[in-house]
Each structure stands twice: as C-alpha cells, then as structure tokens.
C-alpha cells in the first residue's frame, strides 16, 4: 500500500481487519505526514508519538471490536482525555490534566480506536482563533472553532476528528477546509466531559472524508449500532432555503448553490425553493441571545478568577450575555421553540434542506474565523446538518454545501447527504 494516509476511515479499518495493513503502520504514516506538514498547518495542540504507536500496537494484538477498530482519531481540545492534557484553547488550563475521558472519547477507545492527540480549538470554542492554518492556503483561516480537526482531516494527518458546534464550529470549518462535517441532532452524543459554553446549543459531532465515515464515527460516539445508510431512491426531494443570512452570501457560495442544485437535478433529484415563516426573521438574533446569555454564565469562574487571561475577543463576544435580562433570554427561547415546531412541517414534503454552509471561501484573514451566520439558525433548531465538499469558489478554495434534516431524523439526513455527496461527485452513492 503506497500511502495509507489517503484511505477513508472505513477503508483503513477494512484493510486492518483483512491483515493488509496494521494500525501501527497507519499511525506511523500519519505521524510522518504530521511531521512534514505541522509547521504549515498546525492542527495539533498535543501529540504523543510513542503513546499513539503503543496504543496502535495494542489494537493490532486484539480481535476487532468495531468496524473502525484500529483507526486513529483526533480529539478537539475541549473534551477531556485521562492521559492527555485538555487546555480548552486557553492559558488558564495550560496545565490541566483530567482524571477521566469525556464519554464520547471513552466510547471510541472501547471501540478499539486510537486517540492520536488533541486538535486545536479556538478559546473555549468561541471566536478567538487558534494557531491552525487552512491546509489549502496557509494565509487563510481554517474556520473555527473545530479548526484543528477540520484541517487535520483535510490535510490527511488524521482520517477522523471530533468537532463541536455552538454556532457554526463544525459546518463552517468543514466547508473552508473541504471535508465532510457532521453536526448531529442536539444532545444525540452525550456531552459528559466537554467544556460547556452554551447548554442549549453545544453539540458534539465530527469531521470525516466521507458521509459513510461520519455515520460510522458518530454512531460509535452515540453508543449506537452502525447502520448502513438507507437508499433514498433515485429521486430524493430537497428544499432549497436561503436562510435569513442570504444577503451575506458571496459569489462563491451563490455559484456553489446553483451548481449543487443543477447536479441534484441532473442526478434525478428534485429541488424546490421555499421561504421560511416570518418568525424565522428573529432566529439569528435569538440564537445570539441564547448563546451569549449562557456563555457569560458558563464562564463565570474564568471571568471572576482569571479575567486577565481571557482574550479581548472572548470578553467582547460574551459581554452582551451579562446585559441580557431573563425576560430577553426567555423571549429567545420562545423564538427557538416556535421555529423548531414550524421547521418540522418542511419535512412533510421534503427529505432534506439544501442551504449554504458558509458565506463563501475561507477569508484571507487569520485573525477572523469567518461568519457563522449560515449555521446559527440550524444550530438553534438543534437539527442534524452535514457539510458536503466537492465545489470550489473563484479563488479555487473549497466551498461546501449544507444538507439539513429534521430533529430526530439523523439517519435519514445522513442518507440524503450521502446521495448528495454522490451527485456532487458525479456518481450515485452506493453506501458501502
């Protein structure tokens, strides 16, 4: 095998199960890739080469525990790991060593996966950028806050990475870096051992190189059986929704949406543009109120005892949360509940929603992780979302398409995303 780093996660696991590849050899190849590219991409905040290789050798000595046995994974650095420090992207926690794993990390280990290390996050998964660069153009942002996981998967340094999303922290960096990003239904993956920023919004998900990989990876973190994605038939139906952020769409996203719609129709699917009910005009404002209100309170310890170690950007981002009244927060939660109820009606006619994943290509500005406005509505609704790569913008940088489903229908959403993945690549998805 010439270069195992290019394998998808499921393909690598099959090679390991068949004895044509070892987990140790795969980890070794990935470490060589990291060594060659780390100065440019900077996806990792902690990496223990000896530990990763030792863990891989143990996996090679066992019978496979799951369909992803022996596959390495990167863990976003706001999730606890009992054998690696967890810094939350902040100097406050530079010496923090948890005593146990986050629940999703423990489930990965139990499934025989290899935790390679911790990937860079923005400060407390908010807006202050980390060190990571976009692997396609190091002068551009990889997005935030799951920047290390997105860039590491895109640069073939790791086949899978855990991400989290409070506004747009999985879907947007996946779009900027050109990988599959999957944000499940809110609460589908347990958050024990995660640094919480906004209880009503925070969602654990993943970065991968295919929808099938994302499905398998997320299933393990859910402690659910890995189910083969359903066949949505030759003519799936999609609704195209511009969302309240559409005026911000740049040429790259507008042309990508048009091309995606054309490819869906060429592949036999249908796309109908719809408008959301008037209450959705308040959705972006409501999401911001919920996020800042909860984040200001969630970071009470850090604000009170370590204010001097918080970045100006973070303090500015959560400042409004201290001014919001409980009545204002309740208004926002009521908007959230109303929008959730009304959004469900879309799926009486359509299988999934197509919408931009980001405003456009990754900004050429390392101090700015990009606008989350094309993600905030869907995060507030708590619905499953998938970034599909395969399209490019005017500068040749990746531009993703977002596939959105109904809450509680994550499997159906992934099935539609897999079909869309095939359509964008000019082939029908076979779900193998």
pLDDT at 426: 83
Instruction: State how far the Cα of 194 lies from the Cα of 320, in Å rounded to an integer.
Output: 24
Average pLDDT over residues 380-389: 98
76 tagged catalytic: yes
Instruction: State how far the Cα of 374 lies from the Cα of 376, in Å rounded to an integer.
Output: 6
The structural domains of the chain, with segments of one domain joined by +, span 4-222
Mean residue pLDDT across the chain: 96
Average pLDDT over residues 60-65: 97
Percent of the chain at pLDDT > 90 equals 97
pLDDT at 203: 98
pLDDT at 402: 98
Average pLDDT over residues 176-188: 98
47: which 2 tokens? 């990496």
13: which 2 tokens? 């696991």
**If you compute the radius of gyration of the chain from its CA atoms, what whole number of angstroms results?**
20
146 tagged catalytic: no
pLDDT at 2: 84
Average pLDDT over residues 267-293: 97
pLDDT at 92: 98
Catalytic site residue from 169, 175, 200, 371: 169
DSSP structural state of residue 428: -
Cross-strand partners of 154: none
Instruction: State how far the Cα of 150 lies from the Cα of 142, in Å rounded to an integer.
Output: 7
pLDDT tens sequence across 205-225 = 999 999 999 999 999 999 999
Element holding 353 (H helix, E strand) = strand 352-356
Task: Please state the pTM of the whole predicted model.
Answer: 0.97
Could you please state the CATH topology (level 3) that the domain comprising 4-222 is classified under. Amidase signature (AS) enzymes (3.90.1300)
Percent of the chain at pLDDT > 70 equals 98
Catalytic site residue from 23, 76, 167, 243: 76
User: What is the SS3 assignment for 164?
Assistant: strand
Average pLDDT over residues 267-288: 96
Contacts of 119 (CB under 8 A, 6+ apart): 43, 44, 45, 74, 75, 76, 77, 146, 147, 148, 149, 152, 158, 161, 162
311 tagged catalytic: no
pLDDT at 429: 41
pLDDT tens sequence across 33-55 = 999 999 999 999 999 999 999 99
Element holding 92 (H helix, E strand) = none
pLDDT at 431 exceeding the cut of 70 = no
Average pLDDT over residues 245-266: 96
pLDDT at 188: 96
pLDDT at 303 exceeding the cut of 80 = yes
Average pLDDT over residues 344-358: 97
pLDDT at 174 exceeding the cut of 50 = yes
pLDDT at 371 exceeding the cut of 90 = yes
Catalytic site residue from 90, 145, 146, 253: 145
Instruction: State how far the Cα of 184 lies from the Cα of 199, in Å rounded to an integer.
Output: 15
pLDDT band at residue 427, thresholds of 50, 70 and 90?
A: low
User: Phi and psi at residue 146, in whole multiples of 5°?
Assistant: -85, 45
pLDDT tens sequence across 135-165 = 999 999 999 999 999 999 999 999 999 999 9
pLDDT at 63 exceeding the cut of 90 = yes
pLDDT band at residue 1, thresholds of 50, 70 and 90?
A: low
């Amino acid at each position: 095998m010439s270069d195992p780093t290019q394998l998808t996660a499921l393909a690598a696991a099959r090679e390991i199960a068949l004895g044509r590849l070892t987990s140790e050899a795969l980890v070794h190849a990935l470490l060589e890739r990291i060594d060659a590219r780390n100065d440019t991409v900077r996806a990792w905040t902690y990496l223990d080469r000896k530990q990763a290789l030792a863990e891989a050798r143990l996996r090679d000595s066992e019978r496979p525990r799951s369909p992803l046995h022996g596959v390495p994974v990167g863990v976003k650095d706001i999730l606890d790991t009992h054998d690696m420090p967890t810094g939350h992207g902040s100097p406050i926690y530079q010496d923090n060593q948890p005593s146990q794993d986050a629940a999703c990390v423990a489930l990965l280990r139990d499934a025989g996966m290899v935790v390679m290390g911790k990937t860079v996050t923005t400060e407390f998964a908010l807006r202050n950028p980390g060190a990571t660069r976009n692997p396609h153009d190091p002068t551009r942002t990889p997005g935030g806050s799951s920047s290390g996981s997105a860039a590491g998967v895109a640069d073939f340094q790791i086949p899978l990475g855990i991400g989290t999303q409070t506004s747009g922290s999985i879907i947007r960096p996946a779009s900027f870096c050109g990988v599959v990003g999957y944000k499940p239904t809110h609460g589908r993956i347990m958050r024990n051992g995660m640094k919480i920023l906004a209880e009503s919004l925070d969602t654990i998900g993943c970065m991968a190189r295919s929808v099938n990989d994302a499905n398998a990876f997320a299933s393990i973190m859910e402690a659910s059986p890995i189910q083969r994605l359903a066949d949505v038939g030759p003519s799936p139906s999609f609704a195209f929704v511009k969302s309240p952020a559409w005026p911000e769409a740049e040429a790259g996203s507008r042309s990508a949406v048009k091309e995606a719609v054309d490819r869906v129709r060429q592949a036999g699917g249908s796309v109908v543009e719809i408008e959301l009910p008037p209450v959705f005009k308040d959705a972006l404002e409501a999401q911001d109120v919920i996020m800042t209100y909860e984040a200001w309170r969630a970071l009470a310890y850090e604000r009170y005892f370590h204010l001097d170690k918080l970045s100006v950007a973070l303090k500015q981002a959560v400042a409004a949360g201290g001014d919001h009244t409980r009545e204002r927060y309740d208004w926002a939660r009521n908007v959230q509940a109303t929008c959730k109820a009304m959004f469900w009606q879309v799926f009486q006619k359509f299988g999934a929603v197509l919408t931009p994943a980001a405003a456009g290509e990754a900004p050429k500005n390392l101090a700015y992780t990009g606008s989350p406005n094309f993600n905030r509505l869907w995060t507030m609704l708590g619905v499953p979302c998938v970034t599909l790569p395969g399209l490019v913008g005017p500068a040749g940088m990746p531009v993703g398409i977002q596939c959105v489903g109904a809450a509680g229908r994550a499997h159906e959403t992934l099935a539609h995303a897999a079909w869309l993945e095939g359509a964008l690549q000019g082939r029908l998805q076979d779900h193998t």
